[in-house]
Homo-oligomer: A and B are copies of this chain.
Amino acid sequence: MDKSPPETINTEARRASHGAVTLADVATLARVAPITVSRALNSPDSVSETLRSRIRTAVDQLGYVPNRMAGALASAKTKVIPVIVPSLSNVVFIEVIEGVQETLTAHGYQLLLGTTDYNLEREAELVSALLGWAPPGVMIAGLRHLPRTNTILKNAGLPVVEMMEYGARCIDMNVGLSHVRAGMEMAEHLLSRGYRKIGFVGTRLRDDYRARQRYDGMHRRLLESKIASDMLFDYPGGGSQQLGWNALGDILKSNPELDALFFASDEMAVGAILRAQREGIAIPGRIAIAGFNGLPVSTLVTPSLTTIISPRKLMGHTAAEMLLARIAGGSPAARRVNVGLELAAREST
């Protein structure tokens, strides 16, 4: 096949063009009006069998692919939905995106992906840029944005779903869980198992305020108890297993009085457990370890990891369904959904 576009069709064009086959080309070949081709493609039932098959032949022969931008511009309807998350390095966002993608795809929508790297300025720019695609709705991680971002989204007058965390105030719709509550539940659990000096280990906590909320929840509950205390460790450099591995060594040396560590993610907690295995450190004898997310690996490590399970795919599905309900003109079952969480008490504590 020839790789160059069919230039001949446009030799006389005065303007830039995609050089691609258009509706008009199909119409000419099928000897009908362009609008009839449009109908044959978008609402086949409204076109006679005869013309429909003639048009189909022409479409196939020319390899016609409708220009979505022209269609969207004319009809003021798009099926592309921006999904904005902080990062792809965190499994949690991936699984939410997967859930969103599954639901969107099933309804013929496409996903336009944006990542902010936890930077709210960048988030604001991204929101502006993506609104330029005149999307029918927007999905965004988190409830905290710059005032500017909130204003833009509100003024856009579109359905918006804020995901990942559940809170009292949202722009439009909200699906998530309470991270403060997660922290409180873990504190409760650690207290009940007799731990009294607890470290919280996270990374980039200035940006990752959801992790900080888990710390806040834990901190509050421990204070209340009057029998336990905590310390906060904020490591630079991404929430990986390597970080958990490093943290365990550092902390045992610098703060030997601690008897439990609550990590910001299962990945970090697993890293700590692997380090303990390697060095023969007893878990939970010497120190207890807990995580957050409920990744599958949490049941496979030895000792198995105490963690808080969050329904990530469900969050994605629910968020997408709510958005689609609103786009379809209806209203979702609820405007705010708390997907909940579940503490899994296992061997590591």
A→B interface (CB under 8 Å): 1-5, 15-20, 63, 65-70, 72-73, 75-78, 80, 88-89, 94, 97-98, 101, 105, 110-115, 128-134, 151-152, 154-157, 240-242, 245, 270-271, 274-275, 277-278, 296-297, 300-302
Contact = CB atoms under 8 A, between A and B. Distances in A.
A110 B88 CA distance: 15
A242 to B, nearest CB: 5
Scoring A151, A152, A277 by chain B CB atoms within 10 A of each residue's CB, the highest score goes to A277
A103 B144 CA distance: 27
B98 A4 contact: no
A349 B270 CA distance: 23
B98 A300 contact: no
23 contacts: A1-B155, A2-B155, A5-B156, A5-B157, A16-B75, A16-B76, A65-B128, A67-B73, A69-B73, A69-B133, A88-B101, A101-B113, A105-B115, A110-B129, A110-B130, A111-B112, A111-B113, A113-B113, A240-B296, A241-B296, A271-B300, A275-B300, A278-B300
B157 A4 contact: yes
Contacts of A271: 297, 300
Given A132-B65, A300-B271, A3 B73 contact: no
Contacts of A5: 156-157
A300 B241 contact: yes
A9 to B, nearest CB: 13
B157 A3 contact: yes
Nearest to A112: B112
A154 to B, nearest CB: 5
Contacts of A110: 112-114, 129-130
Given A19-B157, A134-B20, A154-B3, A72 B69 contact: yes
Contacts of A151: 1, 63
A155 to B, nearest CB: 6
Given A67-B73, A300-B271, A302-B278, A80 B112 contact: yes
Given A69-B78, A110-B130, A241-B296, 16 more contacts: A1-B155, A17-B76, A18-B76, A65-B152, A67-B134, A68-B132, A73-B73, A88-B101, A94-B94, A110-B113, A113-B113, A270-B297, A274-B297, A277-B277, A277-B302, A278-B300
A121 B179 CA distance: 41
A14 to B, nearest CB: 13
A125 to B, nearest CB: 10
Nearest to A83: B113
A63 B127 CA distance: 13
